[in-house]
Amino acid sequence: MKKLVSVVVPMYFEEEVAYECYHRLTDVMSKGDTDYELIFVNDGSTDKTLPILKGIALNDKKVKVISFSRNFGHQNAVTAGVFGASGDAIVIIDADLQDPPELIPDMIAKWQEGYDVVYAKRKQRKGESIFKLVTAKYFYKFLHAMSDVEIPKDTGDFRLIDRKVAEVFKNMPERNRFIRGMISWVGFKQIPLEYERQERFAGKTKYPLKKMLKFASDGIIGFSSKPLKMISFVGGCTIVLSIILFIYSIVEKIIKGSTVQGWTSLICAVALFSGVQLLSLGIIGQYIARIYDESKQRPLYIIDEKINYEEEK
């Protein structure tokens, strides 16, 4: 029997690319020797994305659509797609065609050779702002230094995962998801596949700075407790510093007998220590916020509509 490959595509305000994305994926997938299904996840877009997807699904039963009740974010959209996929392998790809669908057959070939995860590694990125290139570069360096798990550099979520990896992934209930890290964490046989990242086909990035920062903190805080260890270290250093200041001020008092002098050093010390304390509290707060998020046990996303799924609505 032919193997089934599911392709998961998250979409947020992608009316300009939805059709093209469907055509390119269909072109590539229909030429292969595996069966396929396309799973489009509408992450609460209120433009024409959903009507376009519905139109496509009406004429092509290989297309399944999952639509959220509101925007739950890229990582949750991908998660919903993995839950809604029934393939022996699942490919995760962006809608904007920055990840070339033409790479999928190579991924499938590697999978058939016996690899469980085939992740696409960017050789070059076209059409990205300098800001994005620089921040991404340093983010991955920083992540590498901070994280306890080996997370491959220059790698997005564009990848193929085997059914057994998907099953493990589905059993990871964490709320603040950093999928590329989670899949790296599970292990199994993983292999990179190099490619050139293209320009966005149309439209603008759906990752404004705020979402990028949230994503970065999910990557760092979700995968490491090093920030907590670091603040203990910084705390230790400030204690040493304050002991020096303590001795200095006592000696000053004894030698000069004046207490008015030393105002500058006093202000400096207060400012420095309160800064360090606030930063440390902030970092601890981030971890507590995550514990809080987990303890609420809310669903990762809410599905409003499912199209071309027989069993359930």
**Of 42 and 98, which CB lies nearer to Mg ion in the complex structure?**
98
Q: What contacts 36, CB < 8 A, 6 or more positions away?
A: 4, 5, 6, 7, 29, 30, 62, 87
Q: From 15, 65, 2, 61, select the one nearest 39 (Cα to Cα).
A: 65
7 forms beta bridges with: 38, 91
**Of 13 and 115, which CB lies nearer to ligand UDP in the complex structure?**
13
Packing angle between helix 74-83 and helix 179-186, nearest 10 degrees? Answer: 50
Tally of CA atoms within 13 A in the half-sphere of 180 that contains its CB: 25
Tally of CA atoms within 13 A in the half-sphere of 121 that contains its CB: 13
Interaction of residue 184 with Mg ion, rule CB under 5 A: no
| Chain residues that interact with ligand UDP, rule: CB under 6 A | 10-12, 14, 43, 71, 73-74, 77, 94-96, 98, 205-207
**For the chain, what's the residue count?**
313
Find the shortest distance in angstroms from Cβ 118 to Mg ion. Answer: 20
**Of 11 and 80, which CB lies nearer to Mg ion in the complex structure?**
11
Find the shortest distance in angstroms from Cβ 144 to Mg ion. Answer: 22
Interaction of residue 98 with Mg ion, rule CB under 5 A: yes
**Of 15 and 252, which CB lies nearer to ligand UDP in the complex structure?**
15
**Of 37 and 43, which CB lies nearer to ligand UDP in the complex structure?**
43
Cβ–Cβ under 8 Å, residues 23 and 54: no
Interaction of residue 96 with Mg ion, rule CB under 5 A: yes
By a kind-dependent CB cut-off of 5 to 8 A, residue 238 interacts, out of ligand UDP, Mg ion, none, with none
Contact set with Mg ion (CB under 5 A): 94, 96, 98
